[in-house]
Amino acid sequence: GAVVSQHPSRVICKSGTSVKIECRSLDFQATTMFWYRQFPKQSLMLMATSNEGSKATYEQGVEKDKFLINHASLTLSTLTVTSAHPEDSSFYICSASRVQDTQYFGPGTRLTVL
Partner 1 sequence: AQTVTQSQPEMSVQEAETVTLSCTYDTSESNYYLFWYKQPPSRQMILVIRQEAYKQQNATENRFSVNFQKAAKSFSLKISDSQLGDTAMYFCAFMKRIGGSQGNLIFGKGTKLSVKP
Which of 73, 93, 74 has its CA nearest to residue 28?
74
Contact status: 5 vs partner 1 (CB under 8 A): no
Q: Which of 5, 49, 70, 80 binds partner 1 (CB under 8 A)?
A: 49
Contact status: 95 vs partner 1 (CB under 8 A): yes
DSSP state of 59: P
Contact status: 104 vs partner 1 (CB under 8 A): yes
* CA diameter of the chain: 40
Contact status: 90 vs partner 1 (CB under 8 A): no
- Angle among Cα 38, 76, 63 to the nearest 5 degrees reads 45
Q: Which residues bind partner 1 (CB under 8 A)?
A: 31-32, 34, 38, 42-44, 46, 49, 51, 91, 93, 95, 97, 99-105, 107-108
